Amino acid sequence: MSDGHRPIIIRRKKVVKHHHGGSWKIAFADFMTALMALFLVLWILSTSSDAQRASVASYFSTPLVVAMAGGDKSSASTSAIPGGGPDPVYAEGEKMRIDLRSQGRSDEGQNRLNRLRQRIEAVIAADVRLRELSSQMRMDITREGLRIQLVDTERRPMFELGSEQVAPYMRELLRTLAPLLNELPNLLSISGHTDSLDYVSGHRGYSNWELSSDRANASRRELVAGGLNPDKLLRVAVMSDRVPLNDK
């Protein structure tokens, strides 16, 4: 075969292009994150006061000291950064409104109890027979509400000796108090007390516990008979001689 008739052979070779990889995407994401962080820092600085910025600077300069110094937990934190200034988007106004309403209700209830106490004192002072019992009645305002204590004296016991039978003047006092107690904003608790002397008479096994229970329930019945709304009663407690009341 002559040189002029030689066949031309073309070999096509597939060249694989080199892959550039995704490292540029990671670098770009880091750059965008840094930009966003810078934007947030500039925004916080523009909306915070000098004192708040000083607090943030103090936290980052001595973070361990701030952490050990105590303070609110993160769940109750009002700071954008723990130990720093307050969060610009924290809804402090709603919390303050709730606190003010609670404080208002507390003050209103306190004033209502004071007015009721004054009314009871006026009613007792206006009745000659009940006025003699004023030395046996003490009233004070506690965290639970208005507390009224009726205590025995040697000259004028409230119950028959060793019995749950209510003395006549005690019955009159309880029935006079009953309508006034309906005005209490909270529920009513009655507790029965006795002295520390052993109860030796009566049925076997009957002790100061049973006696104080019977006396408390006898007082409850007299209050209801005098007009107390039964729904105002929360509980009848038995104290026996465990919580003595001072009669002085």
What would the pLDDT profile of 99-128 be if each residue is shown by its tens digit? 444 455 467 778 888 888 888 888 878 877
∠ Cα 203 207 211 (to 5°): 95
3-state secondary structure of 225: helix
Domain residue spans in the chain? Answer: 96-240
What would the pLDDT profile of 145-156 be if each residue is shown by its tens digit? 778 887 766 667
Whether the predicted pLDDT of 38 surpasses 90: yes
The predicted pLDDT at position 4 comes to: 61
Q: Domain 96-240 adopts which CATH fold?
A: 60s Ribosomal Protein L30; Chain: A; (3.30.1330)
What would the pLDDT profile of 44-93 be if each residue is shown by its tens digit? 888 888 878 777 776 665 544 444 444 444 444 445 444 455 554 444 55
Going by C-beta distance under 8 Å and a sequence separation of 6 or more, which residues neighbour residue 136?
A: 150, 151, 152, 153, 156, 158, 247
Q: Note if the pTM is more than 0.75.
A: no
145-150 and 137-142 strand pairing: antiparallel
